[in-house]
Amino acid sequence: MSTDDIKKLREETGAGIMDAKRAIEEAGGDYAKAVEIMREKGLAKAEKKSDREIKAGVIKTYTHNDRVGTVLRVGCETDFVAKSEPFQELIQNLAMQIVAMNPKNVEELLGQNFIKDESQTVGDLVKQAIAKTGENIKVDEFYRLEL
């Protein structure tokens, strides 16, 4: 186990130093397995935060080729997280997903395979953002328009 592995795992998962170190140790030095361990722990943490109150968020608009677009509202607990890089990345990915895959509602959106990584669902993507930011995040609603 090297410090570079720990650093890389921290950057990829948003985990603390000791959590990353423990995951690599638990995985016996297998980096891919350590990433999976961190994802599972992050998803468990996300479940615990799901009852926390949403007080902030962002309304995101996105258009593709001036022919199809979306207006998306995603909530979080604080303005600090709403402005954070992991949250901003999440809402951009959600907007692109909606434009590309045309889900009928939030429930269908969260169950879809993520367009950039078919091995995970959009719901998993949201849970990973919850684990990274430490706050509850909720996709409230969206509208998709197409010419």
The CA distance from 10 to 7, in Å, is: 5
The answer for residues whose C-beta is within 8 angstroms of residue 66's C-beta and 6 or more apart is: none
The CA distance from 94 to 91, in Å, is: 5
| Inter-residue contact 77 to 65 (CB < 8 Å) | no
- What pLDDT, on the 0 to 100 scale, is given for residue 15? 65
Taken in order of first residue, the domains within the chain and their CATH numbers are 3-49 (1.10.8.10), 56-146 (3.30.479.20)
Averaged over successive runs of 10 residues, the pLDDT of the chain (147 residues) comes to 74 70 81 77 60 83 95 94 94 97 96 93 90 89 96
Structure confidence by residue, pLDDT tens digits, 32-61: 888 777 777 665 565 565 666 778 899 999
Helix (H, G, I), strand (E, B) or coil at 88: helix
Listed in sequence order, the DSSP H helices in the chain are 3-13, 17-26, 31-49, 79-82, 85-101, 106-111, 122-133
